[in-house]
Each structure stands twice: as structure tokens, then as C-alpha cells.
Amino acid sequence: MHRLTRQIRFSVDPFGNEGDAEGFNSYCSKPAGHGLGFFICLNVELQGSVQADTGFLINLAEIDAKARTEAVNIYKKRIQQMISAGKNVTLEKNAEILMECWEGLRRSFNPQKLSSLEQLVNPYKKITISGDSNMLLYSEKFEFAATHKLWNENFSEHKNFEQFGKCANPQGHGHNYVVEITAEPENWKDFDRFDFQKKVKKLFIDKLDHKNLSKDLEYYKQHNPTVENITVHCWQTLSGKLKGARLESVRIWENDRAYCTYRGEQE
């Protein structure tokens, strides 16, 4: 079984003044729009078997055509209706639009199956529908900077450097960590994103930001401050603490080439 993802980028003029705004550059945005409008970025993920004669799961041009026909029209119609009525496109309404696209696109592909549909609201937050569990998820990224030393007191000095290399530097070293928290709101209408941000920042980010993890936090006196253990620590700190939402996953990058994801012991 393979999974293939295609990113679809397009713009919507909220006032319906597109005119000849289709454009020619789908890498940037197609429709291109005029001036400042709503920029939409969708990740369409399909799963299925690769065709023996083409080597494709599906031709990407087919994903483009179907996604643009279905999704662009839905986003354009719903956004312009709300703006003309003087209504804001809230996070709840955004989730409803994505769900409407999901229902339309799900019927568009066969034998391939739509397995995930994700909208990047901006580069640091997204809404995702997963076909595996039929969940509608909200994700947002945060950051903190910290220093640490990887060391096990039960190891000899030689073994510590053998296991942890430069990360065992006695003076420590630092990272600019990026933390992505994904939650399943119980009710999108009542989901308070600002309370979500406040809880993540107060309970976890502020506790670690600009700290020496190995020296300043009790947790890391018992647990080596690897990205794996930091991810578990974040999960344990936030699980059950997000108002009106269930914590679904924690993903932490220690640099742009290494990250860890944790979903609790149910995995």
C-alpha cells in the first residue's frame, strides 16, 4: 500500500472580483487572484496500489484537476458568501469548509482512497482530516530555545562519549526547538484557540525556554534530555489539560533534520 500526497495552492478573492485571475503558475497559486486575498494550501493524500503499467498510484495531473474543480469552487463559494454577509471566516467555519471538501473529494477518486486532507492555515498551524480515524484535528507550532547535555551517570566517561558523541560535551550545547501540538476539539464552535495557546505556553514552553534542561528542570535529572524524552515530557504535561480538546500528538524538532512524534502509550 502506497500513500501519495499532492499540494494544491490557490487564491480566493473574498469579494468575487477575480476577472481573469486564473493565472499560469500553479506552483505559486492557481487561481492566482488579484492583490491580497485568501491563500489556500491543501495537502491531498491518497492511498492505494501502484499500477504495474505506469508505475503511478495515480497521475498527479488527475489529482490537480479533481482537487481544483472540487475544492476551489467550494472555498470560493463559502468564503464569498460569508464575506458578502459581513461574517468572519472563523476557525469553525474553516473546518466546515474543509469537511465539505473532504466529502466531495472522497467521491472523486476510485480505486484510490482519500486518506488525509490537510489545510495549512498558515505555515505554523493546520487543520487535518484523517480517513484512518475520521478525526478533524487542529495543529499549531510553538518554539523554545534550551541547552542540555546528554549523559548517563551509570556509564563511564568513555561510554558516554561513545554513545552521545558531541552531545556529551561537558559544557552542554543548545537547540532551537519547534513544538507542534495536535488536538482533537470536542466542539469546533466552542474550541478556544487562545486558551489552547495559553495552556501550551504556560504549562510547557515557558518552563523550558532559555533553560539548561540538564540542570534547571527536575524531570531531566531523572530522564536524559533527548528529543524523545522531551516529547514524552510534553505529552505528560499537556495530556488532559487542554480545554475542550483531546491531545492527539506531540511532535518536536530539535533541528530541521530530526524530530520525534509521540501519541501516548496507546501506540
- Return the closest-CA partner of residue 4 out of 39, 46, 38: 46
Residue of 41, 167, 228, 260 marked active site: 167
Beta strands 258-262; 245-255: pairing state: antiparallel
34 part of the active site: no
Q: Could you say which of 22, 92, 173, 210 is catalytic? A: 210
Sign (positive/negative) of CA torsion 214, 218, 222, 225? Answer: negative
Between CA 175 and CA 8 the distance in angstroms is 33
What is the residue whose three cell numbers read 530555545? Answer: 145
- Catalytic-residue membership of 167: yes
What grid cell was written down for 131? 480517513
Rounded-to-integer distance, Cα 230 and Cα 235, Å:
9
3-state class (DSSP) for residue 138: strand
In sequence order, the 6+-apart residues with CB closer than 8 A to the CB of 132 are 115, 116
Query: Taking a C-beta distance cutoff of 8 angstroms, is the pair 8, 101 a contact?
Result: no
Catalytic site includes residue 2: no
Sequence-separated (6 or more) residues with CB below 8 Å from residue 148: 172, 173, 174, 175, 212, 213, 214, 220, 225
Reduced to 3 states, what is the DSSP secondary structure of residue 209?
A: coil
Active-site positions read 167, 210, 254
